[in-house]
Every structure is written in structure tokens, then in C-alpha cells.
Amino acid sequence: MVKNLDSKFEVTSVSPLTEYKQNIQDAYHDSINWKIDRTKLIDFKAINNLRNILNDFNSNDIIHIFTIKSLYLFIFSTLFFKKKFKVLVSVTGLGFLFADTILAIILRNLTKPLIRLRINKVINLIIFQNNDNLAKFVKYSKYKNQSKIIPGSGLDTNNFVTKKDRNTQANVIFVGRLMKEKGIYEYLRIAEKLKDQNELKFFIAGKPDFGNKSSLNIDEFNQLQNNPYITYLGEINVHQELHNFDILIQPSYHEGFSRILIESIFAGLFCIVNNIFGMKEIIQLTGYGTTVENNSIDEYIHKINKYLNNGYKINYEFASKVIESKFSVKAISKQFEEIYDEFT
């Protein structure tokens, strides 16, 4: 998205400069290394590091925060901070903090008073990717300032290789972080139940996020890599490799606005996904896939078999035009430019 913004904006990144260091440095006007340990729920050194970084910014700079976790760290780091900025936040999904686990509920309740005290003082605009996320977060935080819906973060459609023909054996894939909230356990159950169906092959692309309490642990990850009825691919280049597959299964528990779903549809995969906000709207708009109620394993299996038997009418040309017009990086960047203009 940064590469597509008007050149009048000089965008600096504040992020860990580790495995994606070169990509980040190539894309941004300047890059500042934010030292943060993702294995810690609250990294106090990272909060202090961010405070020092922000202290070097000018008061007329625009701060654009991505993700709920970074928003929390920003709020913690600006306690008793005299300098004020124009601040907007992109909530790309509510994530672990809004899950129904005991740990998430405890953390939400512990941090709620501080968030409610500070959020309307330091945040000018929050951008959500769907109305459900907006309603839940506003209710939790008592946020009263400006909010806006921008679906997705922009898809660079120029770099995609798209499907030409369906494989003889249908290649089914899960793509994402290997976490409970992404539905990795449901996918494993689907693959196990269909392991003897010769016209299907199952794949997993992605890696664990050991800094997240919802992630597969090391033992589970090792078991997955040795699973006899699934091929583990590690991370893949979705632009160049997604077209090799036929079906995307996405049993996520919650999504802001699913990027991998848009990417998969644009690459030409038939998509079978959990019927939740952040995914069902994409299926409805493109007509390229189907939804499953309450992550029903039996319903996933039924719909995979229906696809194998050519039971769905799909129109790739229509779906790709919808994505180009509504969710491409060009379309999304234009909306961000308008916001930045308002803030300057």
C-alpha cells in the first residue's frame, strides 16, 4: 500500500527489522527498528523503546497504527506523554484479546479501565474492516471519536498467477498462522476424515506463532510436520503458488477482513469458509465459494464433495472484477490518501 501512496507522503515504518528487514527498508522512506519480544504478552522494554521512538517524532506527524496489540502498546507508551500527534488505527481483526479463552477475558478486563480512560484522548480515528468488529470494540472501549469501515488492506492484483485448469486430484489447502483461532484443529479433523478419498490431497501453508497463546506448541507442530495424510509446505508465495491448489478451507473463528480469502478467490480457488463476519461478505460479493455454519466438520466434508461433483456454479470473471474494483491496493490506497489529506 505504501508504494501506491502519493509521493507527497513520506512514510516511516516502526516495526521489528528482523526476517522482513529488506522488504520493509525497500518499501518505506525510512525504517526504525522497534525491539519487541512477541513471546511476551506485555513487553515493558518494547513499551519504553516505543516511547523513545515517538519522542523523536514531530507533533504534526500522523501516526498510523496497525493491529489491536500495537494500539495497546501505543496507549501504554504514551502515558504521561506531553507530545500529541494525529493518530489513526487500522483494526485488521480483534485477534486473541477478544477470544473467549479465560486468559483473553482476564486480560480484557484488566486493561479495560486504562483503555477507556485514554483511547478518546489519544486516538482520532479507528478504521475497521467490518461492522461487527466496530460494534464489539466500541462497546468494550467506549470509543467516541471518528470511525470508518475500509474492507481489507489492499491486494496487489498485478503479481498474481491465476488458475487455468482444475487438478486431476483436487488439492485442498489451509493457509495461515497455525493457531486455534485460525481453525487449524478443524482443518486437521477434516483431512483425517477424508484421508482415504483418493481424489483429494491436503496441504498446509503457514507457520506457528509461538508468541501467541493460541498457537500450536512445538510438540503439536512436530506432529503436524510428520502427519501422513497432510503435506506441510511451510510458508508459500501466495502470488505465485496459490494457483496450484483447487480448494481453500478457512475455518477461522474471527477475521477482520480475510486477506487470504480474497487472494485465493483471485487466484481461482474455490473457497469453503466459516460463516463469520470478515469472510461471509466476501463470499456474498464475489459468489466464488460457500460458507459453513458453526465450523461444522460434516458440512465442510459435504461441500468439498459437492465441489468434486461439480455442484457449484461459479463465475471467475465476475469475482475477479469485484476484487479489482473494491479490494485492490489501488482502491484501498486511494481511501487512505483521502484520510491522510484530512489529517494534514
Q: pLDDT by residue (tens digit) across 72-87?
A: 999 999 998 888 889 9
Confidence of residue 285 (pLDDT cuts 50, 70, 90): very high
Say yes or no: 232 and 332 in one domain. no
pLDDT reported for residue 9: 85
Say yes or no: 10 and 108 in one domain. yes
pLDDT reported for residue 104: 80
3-state secondary structure (DSSP) of residue 322: helix
pLDDT reported for residue 97: 75
Query: Domain total for the chain?
Result: 2
Confidence of residue 113 (pLDDT cuts 50, 70, 90): very high
pLDDT reported for residue 156: 84
Calpha distance 175→247 (Å, rounded): 11
pLDDT reported for residue 132: 87
Say yes or no: 42 and 116 in one domain. yes
Identify which of 12, 9, 31 has the alpha carbon closest to the alpha carbon of residue 22: 31
Lowest mean pLDDT, pick from 37-46, 160-169, 300-309, 316-325: 37-46
Confidence of residue 287 (pLDDT cuts 50, 70, 90): very high
Say yes or no: 84 and 232 in one domain. no
Calpha distance 45→318 (Å, rounded): 49
Predicted confidence (pLDDT) at residue 138 exceeds the cutoff of 90: yes
Calpha distance 134→151 (Å, rounded): 12
Question: What distances in angstroms separate CA 281 from CA 259, 313, 335, one per listed residue?
Answer: 12, 18, 20
Predicted confidence (pLDDT) at residue 96 exceeds the cutoff of 80: no
Cell numbers at 61, concatenated: 506527524
Say yes or no: 126 and 12 in one domain. yes
pLDDT reported for residue 319: 94
- N- to C-terminal Cα distance for the chain? 19
Say yes or no: 334 and 240 in one domain. no
Predicted confidence (pLDDT) at residue 99 exceeds the cutoff of 80: no
Say yes or no: 239 and 338 in one domain. no
- 50-60 pLDDT, tens digit per residue, is 999 999 998 88
Confidence of residue 188 (pLDDT cuts 50, 70, 90): very high
pLDDT reported for residue 187: 97
Question: What distances in angstroms separate CA 283 from CA 17, 67, 71, 276, 344, one per listed residue?
Answer: 35, 24, 30, 11, 37
Identify which of 117, 166, 137 has the alpha carbon closest to the alpha carbon of residue 67: 137
Calpha distance 120→206 (Å, rounded): 37
Predicted confidence (pLDDT) at residue 166 exceeds the cutoff of 80: yes
% residues pLDDT > 90 (the chain): 61
Q: What is the CATH number of the domain that holds 133?
A: 3.40.50.2000
Say yes or no: 201 and 332 in one domain. no
For the whole model, what pTM was predicted? 0.76
Say yes or no: 86 and 134 in one domain. yes
Instruction: Calculate ∠ Cα 62-66-68, nearest 5°.
Output: 125
Average pLDDT over residues 253-262: 89
- 174-187 pLDDT, tens digit per residue, is 999 999 989 999 99
Calpha distance 70→64 (Å, rounded): 10
Say yes or no: 132 and 271 in one domain. no
Amino acid found at 240: Q
Cell numbers at 190, concatenated: 477434516
- 290-326 pLDDT, tens digit per residue, is 999 999 999 999 999 999 998 888 899 999 999 988 8
Count the alpha carbons within 13 Å of 280 in the hemisphere toward its beta carbon.
13
Calpha distance 183→201 (Å, rounded): 18
**Domain of residue 262, residue span:** 157-326
Say yes or no: 110 and 32 in one domain. yes
Under 8 Å CB-to-CB from 8, ≥6 apart: which residues?
Answer: none
Beta bridge partners of 249: 272
Calpha distance 161→159 (Å, rounded): 7
Identify which of 170, 184, 156 has the alpha carbon closest to the alpha carbon of residue 306: 170
pLDDT reported for residue 325: 87
Confidence of residue 214 (pLDDT cuts 50, 70, 90): confident
Say yes or no: 100 and 175 in one domain. no
Q: What is the DSSP letter of 215?
A: B
